Chain A
Amino acid sequence: MGDKADVWQGTLALMVLKTLQALGPLHGYGIARRIEQTSGDLLAVNYGTLYPALLKLEQEGYISSEWGTSDNNRKAKYYKLTRAGRKQLEREAREWEQTTEILARFLAPGKESA
């Protein structure tokens, strides 16, 4: 339990955008659960930290929100990706791929030409 990684600073927003792209409009609880599941329970998501992140994304215009009804007939605030959000997702995903690729090259054993 204690050795789960916290969500790295700055990656939560990307995870939220990706989740909304994959699942369509979703409420905060659903997003939190989905992130946790997708990580294979390797990430410890403090669900509370999600809401300020959602608010920030909404202020920046990447997502929008409106009240709706959940499957269990419960009132919930649903978030969905905007057009700007889709672009931002592409951009950030590309950057992350690049970063991880570079790191992978560094960490790959015995491949240095020197």
Chain B
Amino acid sequence: MRRLRALLLRLAGLFHKGRRERDLAAEMESHLQMHIEDNLRAGMSAARARRDALMKLGGMEQTKETYRERRGLPVLEAFTQDLRSSIRLLRKSPSFAALVILILALGIGANTAIFSVVNAVLLSPLPYRQPDRLVMVWMSNASKGYKTSPVSGGDFAEWKAGNSVFEEMAPSWDSLYTLTGAGEPEFLIGYQFSAEYFRVLGAAPQLGRTFLPEEDRPGKLECCGGTKKYPDPHHAISSLSSRGYYSPYVAASVCIAARSHPGLSCSARRLVYLPKN
């Protein structure tokens, strides 16, 4: 409390410097005169009386300087002085200042952009329930130089049957589609999953439900779309289903917005999740 009070008063000490300086000078002067008078009374010569008084004071200017340090906040004062002089310098050469500011802005902007990418891609974990327990398993063909190639349905079935390593396995294939018949044809990136895929990821749809096991069968191909183009998923569903290219039922059943699924988002304008069949 006392400290806060002192701090505030020291802040206030940064203002009205002229008056405070006059005050200090007057106080020092009266101190000196009183001391000199005492010295004279004690029998010193005028010159000696004055010198002695000044010495005991520790020098007029030194005393004033230590007083000033306590009166204001020296760090802040030095800072404002630096600030003022740099602003003056910048004003003197505006084109140089503009260039410097531009370079700084570009530098800061570039760094921010790169950091946000690094942060999203490398630093922050994927938004799944237990990202550290998720792995992707691929086929590889060393002789052809394929390190990661998709697995066939039959192979996957065997993997799953013989699995003793993972809690659960779910396949995923991506494929490309063209949506036609609704005005402009549209390019879609689709992912085919088995019914348990979303459970394995620990991801839940923002709206509706995910595939049911019985929809995970041949001949049950239905889908839905969750898009960035339609910020409101409800709107996306109604506008898609009303065109009749998606069954209304399934359109409502799965709709995972790309932003809740950044691991799967892509440059295509739409993401479609399809049951495996």
Given contacts A29-B34, A55-B71, A72-B37, contact A48 B2 (CB under 8 A): no
Establish whether residues A27 and B30, one from each chain, have CB atoms under 8 Å apart when the complex forms: yes
Residues of A within 8 Å of B, CB-based: how many? 24
Find chain B residues with CB under 8 A from A27 CB. 30-31, 34
Is there an interface contact between A49 and B58, defined as CB atoms closer than 8 Å? yes
Rounded to whole angstroms, the CA-CA distance of A60 and B7 in the bound complex is 9
Cβ-defined contact, A47 with B56, below 8 A: yes
Query: Which of A28, A46, A60 is the one whose CB lies under 8 Å from B58?
Result: A46
The contact size tier of chain B is: 20 to 34
Contact indicator per residue, chain A 3-47, by CB within 8 Å of chain B (1) or not (0): 000000000000000000000000111100100000000000111
Query: Which of B3, B26, B30, B35 has most chain A Cβ within 10 Å?
Result: B30
* A49 in contact with B31 (CB, 8 Å): no
Contact B27 A48 (CB under 8 A): no
Contact of B59 among A29, A33, A48 (CB under 8 A): A48
Assess the A48–B34 pair: CB atoms within 8 A: no
The A-B contact count (CB < 8 A) is 73
Closest CB of chain B to A86's CB: distance in Å?
14
Give the CA-CA distance A28 to B32 in the complex, in Å.
10
Q: Are A74 and B33 in contact (CB under 8 A)?
A: yes
CB distance from B31 to the nearest CB of A (A): 4
Q: Please give, as numbers and ranges, the residues of chain A lying within 8 Å of B58 by CB-CB distance.
A: 46-49
Which A residues lie within 8 Å of B62 (CB)?
48
**Do B70 and A52 touch (CB < 8 A)?**
yes
Q: Is the CB of A59 within 8 A of B9?
A: yes
- 16 further A-B contacts with Cβ under 8 Å, apart from A60-B6, A61-B2, A77-B23, are A28-B31, A29-B34, A33-B38, A46-B58, A47-B58, A47-B63, A48-B57, A48-B66, A51-B67, A55-B67, A55-B70, A55-B71, A56-B6, A60-B5, A72-B37, A74-B34
